[in-house]
Amino acid sequence: MSAPPPVPPADAPRPSSAPRPGVAPHLRVAMSSKRMTWLAAASLVPALGLGVALYGVPALMVTGASLLCALAAELATTLPWRRFTLADGSAALTGLIIGLVLPAGAPLYVPAAASAFGILVIKQSFGGLGRNWMNPAMGGVVFATLSWPGAASWSIAPLGWPAGAALTPLQALRAALSMPGSHQATPLAVLEKAGYSFSGLDSGVVGWINTHLLSPAGLALRQGTLDVFIGHVPGAIGASAPLLALGAAYLLHRRVIRWQLPVIYLGSFVVLSLVFGGLASGQGWSAGGPGFHLLSGNLVLAAFYAAPDPVTSPLTGTGKWILGVVLGALTFLLRYFGSLGDGAAAAIVLGNCLTPLLDLWTFRRPEAASRGAA
């Protein structure tokens, strides 16, 4: 590993009266990278809770499998070298994110393989935390999706639905778009046609809003708006946008993550969907429904928990801005035209490929430095 810092270890023998040594500076910020990681993991718990509430035991099984497999893989690649790195929390966070990104119906070898690949190949092969250039969670998910396209997207019916397999909103939409004639339908209409059974809560709230707030204006929300919003539809375990946003808000408040990357990412995605989204569903210009695509699927989780991953995101502010736009564009393309999952994970790993280039391009060396290694 790396050379030790020039600080004599705290337990070095020294006269009890004499003060302790230590290199300057003698003050440090409170927030450590270890605490950052664990805070990020903790902030995902609400989303996980809702997932378990909606899908029950299968959700627990999937998340547990990914989590355990990630930890095991980390141990297997560190213990033989007499190192213990589980404490830094990165393996746990990776496992947790993988579990939340996958649907509850996935057979257990999917989360297991995703975690194993993410930790063993993507992270540890390059020397562990901080040396990997690709996000282990998203890379692992992409690997699993490529290996078992069907199994990795088997979503099951959430609480209050007739039990059994069920299409995610995006799958339903793609199915509808693939068959001719149904092009004019808006996403929620498609869902209704696909036989979604929306909750009573949804109908109640939407009904109330329509009668009391919107009807005077001659507007009306569709059935299912609320369900899609809170994530009470078949899909990934951790797909509840509001809860994820809640956790992310906490992280932003504690400055564990910075706002630039997620906000630009989501912003550019929304703009692109507004302008071109309609074309994809054959509704012409500026007729897309960014809300639907924003809320259903893993976009929010990717934007707040994968994109700003410090290890795999650009070092410089300029780089963050550029990557944000690129990620938004990629997600838009892959979600509307692609076939690999819902595009968020794939967009992130593609962005990771670009990040080292951005670092080289956007970091301006001080005048004193001549054209150096890069």
Partner 1 sequence: MSTGLLLLSLCPAIAMTDTVIHSLWMSAGVILVSLLSTIARDVLDRSSASTATSPKGAVRLLRALLISSVLTAAFEAGLLAVSPTASASMGIYSPLIAVNVLVIADRQPAARSLARSASGALGRGLAVSASLLVVAIFREALGAGTITLFPAGAFRGTIIVGPLVDQPVRALGLAGGALLCLGYLAGALQAIATRRASAASEGEKPR
Partner 2 sequence: MSWEATLLTFALIDNVILSRLLGVDPYGMPGSLRSAAAAGGLFTILMAASAVAGSVLETQVLAPFGLEALRTPAFVLLVAAFAAALHGLAARRAPAMLEEAGVSLGRTATSTAVLGVVLIASRGGLDAGRALLAGLGAGAGFFLVTSMMTAIRLRLEVEPVPRALRGFPLQLVTAALMAYAFLAFDRGFLARFLGR
Partner 3 sequence: MMYPTKLLKGGIDPPSVTTVPPGSAIVNAALPSRALIPLLQHAGAPARCLVKPGDLVREGMIIGRAEGLRSAHVHASIPGVVREVRPFTLPTGESCEAVTIELGGSFETSGKPTVRRAWDGLHRADLLQKIRAAGVVGLGGESLPTHLKLAADAGRAVSLLAANGLDCEPSLSVDAALLRQKPAEIVEGLRICQSLLSPRRTVLALGDHSEELVGEFERLIDRCGMTAEVLVLPARYPQGHEQLVASAISGTPPGADPTVTVLNVATLLAVFDAVVLERPLIERVMTVTGSTLSRPQNLKVRLGARVGDLLEECGGQPATQKVVMGGPMRGVSVQSLDLPVTKGTLGILALGASEARAPAELPCIRCGACIEACPWGLAPTRLFKLVRIGKATAAFREGLSRCTECGCCSYVCPSRIPLSSILGQGKLRHSREATR
- Dist CA 30 CA 76 (whole Å): 31
- Dist CA 17 CA 14 (whole Å): 8
Does 38 engage in binding with partner 1 (CB under 8 A)? Answer: no
Q: Is 280 within 8 Å of 317 (Cβ atoms)?
A: no
Residue closer to partner 2 by CB (options 58, 341) is: 341
Residue closer to partner 2 by CB (options 163, 373) is: 373
Task: Please identify which residue in 1, 23, 24, 57 interacts with partner 2, judged by CB under 8 A.
Answer: 1
Task: Please identify which residue in 121, 271, 294, 325 interacts with partner 1, judged by CB under 8 A.
Answer: 121
Q: Is 62 within 8 Å of 104 (Cβ atoms)?
A: yes
Residue closer to partner 3 by CB (options 109, 361) is: 361
Task: Please identify which residue in 103, 139, 169, 328 interacts with partner 2, judged by CB under 8 A.
Answer: 139
Shortest distance, position 307 Cβ to partner 2, whole Å: 15
Tokens linked to 94? 């990776």
Does 249 engage in binding with partner 2 (CB under 8 A)? Answer: no
Residue closer to partner 2 by CB (options 203, 283) is: 283
Indicate the Cα dihedral angle 96, 100, 103, 105, nearest 10°: 40
Backbone Cα Rg of the chain = 23
Cis status of the peptide bond prior to 19, with omega within 30 of 0: no
Q: For partner 2, how many residues bind (rule: CB under 8 A)?
A: 40
Amino acid at 297: G
Task: Please identify which residue in 38, 56, 61, 148 interacts with partner 1, judged by CB under 8 A.
Answer: 148
Q: Is 219 left (phi over 0), alpha (psi -120 to 50) or beta?
A: beta
Cβ atoms within 10 Å of 22's Cβ, excluding its own = 10
CA distances from 80 to 75, 85, 95, 130 (A): 8, 12, 21, 20
Span 199-218, contacts to partner 3 by CB under 8 A: none
Residue closer to partner 1 by CB (options 122, 358) is: 122
Does 160 engage in binding with partner 3 (CB under 8 A)? Answer: no
Does 130 engage in binding with partner 3 (CB under 8 A)? Answer: yes
Residue range at the interface with partner 3 (CB under 8 A); choices 10-18, 72-80, 134-142, 187-195: 10-18
Tokens linked to 271? 């703009």
Does 151 engage in binding with partner 1 (CB under 8 A)? Answer: yes
Q: Which of 310, 280, 296, 298 is nearest to 346 (CA)?
A: 298
Residue 118 touches which of partner 2, partner 3, partner 1, none (Cβ within 5-8 Å per kind)? none
Cβ atoms within 10 Å of 115's Cβ, excluding its own = 32
Task: Please identify which residue in 21, 22, 127, 204 interacts with partner 2, judged by CB under 8 A.
Answer: 127
Q: Is 215 within 8 Å of 277 (Cβ atoms)?
A: no
Residue numbers at the binding site for partner 1 (CB under 8 A): 107, 109, 113, 121, 143, 146-149, 151
Residue numbers at the binding site for partner 2 (CB under 8 A): 1-2, 121-122, 125-127, 130-131, 133-134, 139, 142-143, 146, 279-280, 282, 330, 333-334, 336-340, 343, 346-347, 349-350, 352-354, 356-357, 359-360, 373-374
